Each structure stands twice: as C-alpha cells, then as structure tokens.
Amino acid sequence: MPSEVVVAHNAVADSDDPSTRDVLDQVTAVSQGLAELELDFRCLAVHEGSFGPGLKSRPGLVVFNLVEAPPGRPRQQLEVAQALERLGVDFTGSGSAAIWRTTDKIETRVMLTAAGVAVAAGGAVDPERPVVLDDVPPPWVVKPAWEDASVGLEGSALCATRERAVERVRELAARFPGQPILAEHFLPGREFNLSLLAEGGGVEVMPVAELAYVDFPDDEPRILGYEAKWEPDSFAYTHTVRRFLDDGEAGLARQLAATARRAWEVSGVSGYARVDMRLDDSGAPCVLEVNANPCLSADAGFVAATRQSGLSMGQVVRRILAAASREAS
C-alpha cells in the first residue's frame, strides 16, 4: 500500500453544473475509503489540467485520479493522465491511451467492432452531408462523441425522423464546435451497467445492474439522459430505477459479463471501469460505452454494484490503489 495518497480532482466553482460538481461527492467517498484504510492523504484541486510545480514523483506516492472532463472540455481528463505519465507518478485508473480511446465514442465503436464486440449500428454524422442516417435505421440517438455524464443528451435525444435527426446534429455541432456528432440506432431492449474492478492480475465483474424506465409514457424516451442523471425533480430522474439481476437470470448475467470483460481487454482500461450495454432486437448485448474511471460517488452505479457484492468503500479503494501504475495503457 502507498505511504502517501494525493486525491486529485478537477477544480469546481459554485456556478458549475451538477455533472461537474459531482466530483466533490467522489472526493468525499474516496476520502472515507482512505480513512477506513488509515492511509495518509491530501486533496488537490487541479486547474486547467495542470498540476503546477508542486507534484513530484517519489517512493510511496500514488495519485488517486478523480479528474474528470467538464462539459465542453473533453480533453481535460486525457491531459491530466498525460501530465502524470510525464511526471512519472503512479496513479489510479486508466492511462492516457485508454482514456482517449474510450472518451472518443466513435473510436470506441471502431475498436470494439474490430474485436468482434457488437455495437449499435451508427457512425459519425456530417451536419452538411448526413449520409449515415440513410444507412442506419431509425429511430436514432444523436449525441456529441466526446462528452460524458450524459452531457448533450438533454431534451429530445431520440429522433424518429430524418428531419429531426439532422436538426439535432446541427444543434449539437454548433454547441460543441470541433467535436464529431454520433448517431446510433436506438436499441429497443433492456439496458445494463456492468462495473469491473481489478483483482490481483485480473478483473472481477460486479453484480449486473439493470436500468428500468418505470411507467415512462410513450413520448418519453427510455434513455439515461442528462435529466435522469442530474435533475432530481424531473420525471426521468424519479422513474429511472437501478435493479440488480437475480439468480433467475444467471445465463443473461454470464453473457453480459463476458461481453464486459472483452470490452475491458480490448479498450485497455485498468483499475476500474463501467461498460454500458443494451440488448438488440434479438436479445443480444451491444456495448454503448466503455467508461474509464467511472464516477465513484456513493450513489453512483459503480459504487452501488460494489456495495451489492459486499465490498466496503475501503476495500474498493484498496483494490483501485493496488492496480495503480503510470504504465497503465
């Protein structure tokens, strides 16, 4: 175990949106885990992806990297991992290469498809020549390719007509200049989150969580959008429920776990990750996203899954620290 831990997180202002301020809840949860382990630690707010001159590599030091990418700054998480690699400091979670591969949802799709892992039909859409929409059946989910935390999935992210899809592509291209826009066929099946945690030289898949969209009216898209994650007073937030699969669906759980493990291996993530999936029309799992360094707040899906498996926050933190290495890919 390290003799010193620095809990690094992106700097947060009072005016920031909930998806950005949530990192402070992660700091609280990780700090509680470190206190459970009786480890010395300090917290460090990182501004503009830079650690400044104060952080240096030394024996026994590990940076617990909680830095995330605020809306419109998708490269910040990557830049911080690159800075830690240049400093030669051991740090938790994935290295810069894996962070970039999984931050870019289009690159993730290419990488998974090449490895034989199923994804939804779709691709990058040119706002001026949206030919992808001619090759992918409706309805489409349209979103920015580099944002996380469901940023860009506000409002009507599900588009039933080509006209509406083109309109949304252009809206997002203007809102997120320089980012590719991704359109995918909306998969009608059940939705799952699979949390993975390093264990020794391997990885353990936590209990499988299903996202249930309870009593959603026909005109309410069954998507884990921004409102469902960050607006507690919204219908989507109060009616999106996490449930864990029981023993009666052990076969499905094994199939989902095998797909999640393969996504872990292909993407090169390390330490901990979350793989989001939906079932297609035939009931086969398709990967929606691979999330390197997923949220560790007490009410987040990853922590809920580890808690379901019987792990305390201290045990989770211990395993993440044990996997920390600047050489992670």
Report CA torsion sign: 80, 86, 87, 88. positive
Q: Strand, helix or coil at 303? A: helix
| Model pLDDT, residue 49 | 64
Q: If you ran DSSP here, which 8-state letter would residue 52 be given?
A: G
Q: How far is CA 127 from the centre of its chain?
A: 26
State the angle between helix axes of 105-114 and 250-267 in degrees (0 to 180), rounded to the nearest 10.
Answer: 110
| Model pLDDT, residue 95 | 96
How far apart are alpha carbons 46 and 83 in whole angstroms?
Answer: 11
| Helix-, strand-, coil-residue percentages of the chain, each rounded to 5 | 35, 25, 40
User: Residues 168, 146, 295, CA angle at the centre, nearest 5°?
Assistant: 115
Calculate the alpha carbon distances from 153 to 46, 139, 178, 207, 265 in Å: 27, 15, 18, 27, 28
How far apart are alpha carbons 165 and 187 in whole angstroms?
Answer: 16
How far apart are alpha carbons 252 and 78 in whole angstroms?
Answer: 34
How far apart are alpha carbons 183 and 169 in whole angstroms?
Answer: 8
pLDDT in tens, 149-196: 999 999 888 999 999 999 999 999 999 999 999 999 999 999 999 999
pLDDT in tens, 86-126: 999 999 999 999 999 999 999 999 999 999 999 999 999 99
User: Residues 79, 85, 88, CA angle at the centre, nearest 5°?
Assistant: 145
How far apart are alpha carbons 62 and 204 in whole angstroms?
Answer: 22
| Model pLDDT, residue 74 | 86
DSSP secondary structure string for all residues of 106-117? HHHHHHHHHTT-
pTM to 2 decimals? 0.94
- Dihedrals φ, ψ of 102, to 5°? -90, -20
Structural domains in the chain plus CATH codes: 4-92 (3.40.50), 101-118+188-322 (3.30.470.20), 122-185 (no CATH)
Calculate the alpha carbon distances from 258 to 42, 189, 219, 261, 264 in Å: 37, 18, 34, 5, 10
How far apart are alpha carbons 218 and 47 in whole angstroms?
Answer: 43
Q: If you ran DSSP here, which 8-state letter would residue 220 be given?
A: S
Q: Strand, helix or coil at 40? A: coil
User: Could you list the pLDDT tens digit for every one of the 329 residues in the chain?
Assistant: 899 999 999 999 999 999 999 999 999 999 999 999 999 999 999 987 677 667 888 889 999 999 998 888 888 999 999 999 999 999 999 999 999 999 999 999 999 999 999 999 999 999 999 999 999 999 999 999 999 999 999 988 899 999 999 999 999 999 999 999 999 999 999 999 999 999 988 999 999 999 999 999 988 889 999 999 999 999 999 999 999 999 999 999 999 999 999 999 999 999 999 999 999 999 999 999 999 999 999 999 999 999 999 999 999 999 999 999 644 44
| Model pLDDT, residue 99 | 97
Edge-to-edge strands, sheet with 61-65: 41-46, 4-10, 61-65, 90-91
Cβ atoms of 91 and 62 within 8 Å: the answer is yes
